[in-house]
């Protein structure tokens, strides 16, 4: 979408919201202080990324991308204290509730649930299926050994031992670890 179309869309959105609402361009973001530096009318404003912080630190925050356009509004009639309403490009979303949280970080390509407190990852299903298929194939090879074995009188199972020798010499290598199956893009 062109820059003019983005600005026109924002102007249409804010017509009825507030007379003092303004559209600016993000020139800096400080996630720690939850502030974006926004250029508007040759001035630079510190725009709060969240309106209110409660004591429990519950929040929902959009982190705008650098050079994106944002709609900001003053708190009261004071343009020295402004809050972000919407951004044309959101780089990160942070939600912190009473019992749950998540971060969607488009720049890093990651999703994190509950601050990754469990220290684990979601499973990459394709890798898991690959490992299960390898195990099933190995088990099927053993079944085939038993299917092709014909008991012979007085051999003490020697024929079975010969047939199963090939199968037993092929161990699972390497053994599966968490790192083999985890999807590093999604933590929980």
Q: Distance of CA 51 to CAs 3, 28, 45, 47, 156, Å?
A: 27, 18, 15, 10, 81
**Chain segment 37-79, per-residue pLDDT in tens:** 999 888 888 998 987 656 567 888 999 999 999 998 887 766 6
Its pTM stands at 0.61
Q: DSSP secondary-structure letter at 114?
A: G
- C-alpha span between 117 and 141 (Å, rounded): 41
Write the Ramachandran bin of 109: left for phi over 0, alpha for psi from -120 to 50, otherwise beta.
left
The whole-chain average pLDDT of the chain stands at 80
- C-alpha span between 65 and 84 (Å, rounded): 13
Of 73, 74, 94, 102, nearest to 85 (Cα)? 73
Nearby residues of 73 by Cβ (< 8 Å), 6 or more positions away: 17, 18, 20, 21, 22, 82, 83, 85
Percentage of residues of the chain with pLDDT beyond 90? 21
Domains of the chain, first to last = 3-115 (2.40.50), 121-187 (no CATH)
**Chain segment 131-150, per-residue pLDDT in tens:** 888 888 888 888 887 777 77
Is pLDDT at 17 greater than 70 in this prediction?
A: no
Q: Identify the band that residue 13 occupies on the pLDDT scale cut at 50, 70 and 90.
A: low
Of 9, 10, 25, nearest to 68 (Cα)? 25
Task: Quote the pLDDT of residue 87.
Answer: 94
- C-alpha span between 84 and 186 (Å, rounded): 28
The 10 Å CB-count burial string (b at 16+, else e) for 102-130 is ebbeeeeebbbeeeeeeeebeebeeeeee
- C-alpha span between 113 and 122 (Å, rounded): 10
């Amino acid at each position: 979408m062109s820059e003019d179309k983005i600005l026109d869309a924002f102007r249409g959105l804010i017509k009825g919201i507030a007379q003092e609402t303004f559209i600016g361009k993000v020139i800096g973001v400080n996630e720690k202080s939850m502030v974006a530096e926004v250029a508007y009318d040759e001035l630079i404003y510190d725009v709060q990324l969240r309106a209110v912080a409660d004591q429990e630190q519950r929040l929902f925050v959009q982190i705008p991308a650098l050079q994106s356009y944002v709609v900001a509004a003053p708190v009261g009639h004071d343009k020295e204290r402004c809050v972000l309403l919407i951004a044309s490009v959101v780089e990160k979303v942070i939600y912190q509730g009473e019992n749950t949280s998540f971060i969607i970080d488009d720049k890093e390509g990651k999703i994190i649930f509950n601050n990754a407190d469990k220290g684990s990852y979601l499973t990459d299903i394709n890798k898991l299926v690959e490992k299960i298929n390898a195990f099933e194939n190995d088990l099927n090879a053993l079944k085939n050994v038993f299917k092709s074995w014909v008991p012979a009188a007085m051999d003490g199972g020697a024929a079975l031992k010969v047939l199963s020798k090939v199968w037993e010499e092929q161990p699972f290598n390497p053994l599966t670890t968490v790192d083999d199956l985890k999807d590093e893009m999604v933590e929980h």
